[in-house]
Amino acid sequence: MSEKLQKVLARAGHGSRREMEAVIEAGRVSVNGSVAKLGDRVETGTDAQIRVDGHLVSIQAENEVICRVLAYYKPEGELCTRTDPQGRPTVFDRLPKVRGSRWVAVGRLDINTSGLLLFTTDGELANRLMHPSREVEREYAVRVFGEVTEQNLQALRTGVELEDGPARFKRLIAAGGEGLNHWYHAILSEGRNREVRRLWESQGMQVSRLMRIRYGDITLPKGLPRGGWVELQLDQVNYLRKLVDLGTESRTLMEKDKQAARRQNKIKTGKIRRAVKKHRPAKGPKR
């Protein structure tokens, strides 16, 4: 059974389908030693040798892939990129290792924005959740500085013209504040670059704090520390899959991971006990 090359690479966790199309167009992918081109298809049931930047890719058939999703609390100061030439911290630095796949970020948050960021091992799921046609809601807690008028709020709800086209908040809810600092909950159904900040700036307001608190119906878990992550339960994973018309997942690796962690802890505990016993001083002669 043949599939488009970009779909196979996305499923293997190398990025979204759109990102993989750009990688193929750049000539960075080869199939059986020949440089691939956009539109190529591969047989997933064969021993095709697919490489990205010279590195062999582990290819799995669609029914072999187990979809996993993490909810991550991104702190301010982290970049949404795998590596940074300047050595700055990235959102991938703290994530757990995943065997035979990679984590793909569902959208981005800029360096000065904190809050909920989803990661999945299924590039197709990430691609669909990010696509504007799906209109998946994102909710942000926003603190703005400036004198906000009813006219400003009405403009942000009905729509303003930005450099990349018209934009508006689907809903905008006041959430308190003092003086010239006001909090709002802002809901968008797309994820353009710096859209929340640019919308407020169009009204002469400065965003002094921005945090994403919800993606679809997945909210930032209570008690999760900044820089922390938690794996979503199977019902939450399937909620996201149904949201973008993907088949439901029947398997999870969460229990296997817990069992592996328990086994690893037992091994470590055993080693410590043996080391203590080995170096315990010998008992002296009885008196």
Active site residues: 110
**Tokens coding 30:** 């080869």
**Tokens coding 73:** 């609390």
CA 115 to chain centroid, in Å, comes to 11
Residue of 75, 102, 71, 68 whose CA lies nearest to 90:
75
The letter for the amino acid at 157 is: R
Residues 249 and 239: their CA atoms lie apart, in Å, by 10
Note the residue count of the chain. Answer: 287
Instruction: Please count the other Cβ atoms lying within 10 Å of the Cβ belonging to residue 30.
Output: 15
